[in-house]
Structure 1
Amino acid sequence: MKRVLLVIVALLVVTGLVLTFAKRPEPLDPALESAKRLHDGPHTVAYYDVTLTDTTRPSQAHGNFEGSDSRELKTRIWYPSDLLREGRPAAKPLPLLIYSHGFMSMRTGGAYLAEHMVSKGYIVAAMDYPLTNYSAPDQPYVVDVVNQPGDVSFLLDHFTSWHRDQGNLFEGAVDETRIGAFGLSLGGMTTTMAAFHPRFRDPRIDAAVSIAGPSFPFTELFYSHRQLPYMMIASPIDALVDYRANALPTLLVPGAILVTIEDASHTGFADMAKMLRFMRNPDKLGCDQVKSNIDASSEDTWYHLIGTPEEGVAAIDAPPLCEMDPLPVGMNPVRQHWLNQLAVSSFFESHFAEDPAVRRGNRDFLLNTLPREIAEVRVDVNNN
């Protein structure tokens, strides 16, 4: 028995080493500015989980799920533990970011981004959306994306309340002039709606990033309802969210930035994709999972629920999913994480860093240095 246990332990150790070190991409040249910016900031990262319940809005019935009169939001909050301690007001308010996960994902889907931003002095929070997360009742229900901007506002309400709550961990910790939102895939769509939608938007959001998020129904009118810094990160070989229909229209938004990462897969943007770096293209798994759930979880004509033509939402169906055959070879997801991290962090720092010179430096890095140093990256800006 001892020998069997030793063999099992040895296999687990070997498996762990393989998953940690095997097939990792070549590190960036340390002389590059990009390599230096990949280093974490000076702050210690901590997190905790809390379940918040919105009793004012329901979780709608679908399939075999009978619905609920509330929305339960399992939430993870990452914070710099050297700056924030319970029972002691923060020395100064910090920028806050809300991350939104994709369809069939969860609140940890952007963990690598959250941890990096917290090391730079940010607070980051993410929720399991009640009906689109991986463990949603019956099965994930894509139509519920229309309710997710309200979840973002609900979470922001808590942070602004905690900011004023004596003895709370976040007492005095939230800078309400530096609130950002970002998300992947369906979470990118959630972020875009929370930023711009005439009815669903939250005016407290000061900057927004959609990572491979669907935007096909949004017209120029949709983005005209308010102005704020906005960036889309996308790839031409994305098998789930068509680049031409969803990413290129970003350049219709005044001041918007489009970061194109060649050879990046859609699935490769998620935190768990680091475990898929042995695959030729992680979108093979992503397509299999999403296609097996999304058809059964939606109705033929649900996009009208997002908005009306008068609000800037076109009455069109989504482009087809996963029609690339064969799938091209995708970038190593670990390298993809690095490039995504560089784009996201420099974008938010270009708007939220306290020092104007640091803000300018981050904007110059994002627009000029990053695409010059990294061959797979192209950056376009609508300067109109």
Structure 2
Amino acid sequence: MRKILGILILGLIMSGTVSAADNRVDGLRPDAPELAAPGDNAIGVRTLQFINKGQVDILKVEAGKPLPTYDRPLTVEVWYPSDGAKRGGSYENVYLRDGKTQVTLFGQAVRDAAPAKSAATYPLIIISHGYPGNRFLLSHLAENLASKGYVVASIDHTDSMYHDKAAFGSTLVNRPLDQKFVLEEMDRLGKDPDSFLNGLVNANDTGLIGYSMGAYGSVITAGGGVTKAATELSWGAPAGTLERMMAGSEEHKALLDDRFKAIVSIAPWGMTYGFWDAEGLAGVRVPMFFIAGSVDDVSGYEKGVKAIFENAVNADRYLLTFVNANHNAAAPIPAPAESWKPVDNLDFVPFEHYADAVWDTLRMNNITQHFVTAYFDSHLKGDADKKSYLDIIETASEGVYAVEKDGTQKPEHNYWKGFQNRTAKGLILEHKTKAN
């Protein structure tokens, strides 16, 4: 049946009903919430190559032998506000989930555009993809935030990409290290007279967006040290190489960086596998905005993402839940047209890596753009008015939409701010303040 479906979809693709021109990352539905709309800035984009020297080469670790090291390469895509009038461009040769097929994506950013000339610097956002993934998986958020006055750096995590997926232990160890290293590099380039980023980046006000394994890394970056049991798993990081992330260790404390002011953690993996406990999560100090699907069967929901949210008691935090969404809630771009057809090296259609069975991906993208804008604007730009988009009733379906013909709100109106009538459905936003 799967093969028959694949043949039918392939026929649609070949007929032009679905084409590569549909591979847009900048979509905006008519029912999108208010803050999902792009900002006023044109967007530039450039690709940077970083080298993190002297890192442990997890793939070559052997028990009983000294830890081997190497210079770890990282490709980073950087989006930034531009003064250019032109809008629109493409991202070429982007790998799909099968690690073989390359496609073109389309959006608003212009390759190598001149950066905006502003007296003020822009807050930095770092994006960390899932396992496997790539730096374009959350490009809808990257473009959207850059248009609103942020510099955004999205990482290609070596050993965790579609085309170079390797031992899971590398992902476990390197995620938080990559996040911290990219922060250091972006801060350095923001002060380098020879860099296009000179005077553009305010790394002292940095946000982090992590998805799945990127979100696992974000919990560690926020202060959540892992358990001792997590460092001893036979299928995990070898030879104790994860011990530096262990709760209470001096190495983990040294990894924490107060330049991270706010974190968005989408479907963080690890809780259901014993990577954290209440003691370790009590170490989280950075404000966090969690996002999850209520039927996530990869990271878990009640015993997974929600348990992390509940136990991060020393941080102010939110949890946005997409009711009946799975692990692909919120983060991935809409499935590229080419992902709709079966491939030889996967036992599923790549489409399934991007899509959700219940929620429309673009709808989830727009809702995420709305809340991430409100969250980062309030934390990184000091925009107090944006907090009103977060101070809403918990269950969206219980909201009452009541306005006069002139738009004036009636006393009983408590509908989610920024949402059109009848559009705040299937969503829950919980908020907990840090312990006293």
Bucket of the pairwise TM-score, normalised by the shorter protein? 0.7 to 0.9
- Is residue 207–residue 228 contact of structure 1 (8 Å, CA) maintained in 2? yes
Q: Which runs of 4+ in 1 moved over 6 A?
A: 83-89, 276-279, 286-290
Distance in 2 of aligned mates of 1:373 and 1:289? 26
1:240 aligns with 2:238: no
Distance 1:382 1:370, change over 3 A: farther
CA–CA distance in structure 2, aligned partners of residues 267 and 284 of structure 1: 15
Cα offset, 1:230, TM superposition: 0.7
User: Residue 369 in 1 paired to residue 420 in 2?
Assistant: no
The Cα shift of 1:225 comes to: 2.9
Alignment partner, residue 146 of structure 2: 118
Which deviates the most, 145-154 or 103-112? Answer: 145-154
1:126-205 correspondence to structure 2 within 5 Å = 126-136=154-164, 139-144=165-170, 145-196=172-223, 197=225, 199=252, 200-205=255-260
TM-score for the superposition, normalised by structure 2: 0.65
The residue matched to 1:175 in structure 2 has which SS? strand
Q: Under a length normalisation based on structure 1, what TM-score does the superposition of the two structures give?
A: 0.73
What amino acid maps onto 2:429 in structure 1? V
Residues 240/87 of structure 1: CA separation in 2 closer, same or farther (3 Å cut): closer
Q: In structure 2, do the counterparts of structure 1 residues 369 and 289 end up closer, same or farther at CA, with 3 Å as the change threshold?
A: closer
Tell me the CA shift for residue 117 of structure 1.
0.6
**Contact 1:265–1:331 at 8 Å: present in 2 too?**
no
User: Contact conserved, 1:267 with 1:273, CA < 8 A, in 2?
Assistant: no
Partner residue, 1:211: 266
User: What residue number does 2:336 align with?
Assistant: 275
AA partner of residue 417 (structure 2): T
1:60 equivalent in alignment to 2:58:
yes
Q: Percent identity?
A: 21
Greater shift in the superposed pair: 222-231 or 82-91? 82-91
Q: Deviations over 1:117-144 (max 9, x none)?
A: 11100011011111111122xx432222
Given that residues 352 and 359 in structure 1 are in contact (C-alpha distance below 8 angstroms), is that contact kept between their aligned partners in structure 2? no
Q: Which amino acid counterpart does residue 201 of structure 1 have in structure 2?
A: L
CA distance in 1 between counterparts of 2:130 and 2:189 reads 27
Is the 1:90–1:170 Cα contact (8 Å) retained in structure 2? Answer: no
CA distance in 1, matches of 2:23, 2:181: 37
Match of 1:72 in 2: 73
Q: Distance in 2 between matches of 1:106 and 1:207?
A: 22
Q: Report Cα offsets for 1:306-340 as digits up to 9, x if no partner.
A: xxxxxxxxxxxxxxxxxxxxxx9421212121222
Q: Is the 8 A contact 1:59 1:69 kept in 2?
A: yes
Contact 1:257 1:380 (C-alpha < 8 Å) held by counterparts: yes
Aligned partner of 2:133 in structure 1 is 105
Deviation at 1:171, TM superposition (A): 1.4
Q: State whether structure 2 residue 282 is matched by structure 1 residue 221.
A: no
Amino acid at match of 2:328: T
- Aligned mates of 1:286, 1:339 — CA distance in 2: 24
Aligned residue type for 1:56: G
User: AA paired with 1:343?
Assistant: F
Displacement of 1:253: 2.1
RMSD over equivalenced CA pairs, Å: 3.6
1:252–1:225 distance in 2 versus 1, CA, 3 Å: closer
Cα distance in 1 between the residues matched to 2:45 and 2:178: 20
Q: Is the 8 A contact 2:129 2:138 kept in 1?
A: yes
- Against the structure 1 CA distance between its residues 187 and 86, is the aligned structure 2 distance closer, same or farther, given a 3 Å change threshold? same
Deviation at 1:242, TM superposition (A): 1.0
CA contact (8 A) 2:58 2:169 kept: no
Q: Residues 222 and 373 (structure 1 numbering): CA distance in 2 closer, same or farther, change over 3 Å?
A: farther
1:213-244 deviation per Cα after TM superposition (whole angstroms, max 9, x unaligned):
11412223223335221111001122222111
Number of residue pairs aligned between Structure 1 and Structure 2: 324
How far apart are 1:114 and its partner, in Å?
A: 0.7
Structure 1 unaligned spans of 5+: 1-7, 29-33, 291-327
Corresponding position of 1:265: 326
Q: Which residue of 2 aligns with 1:15?
A: 18
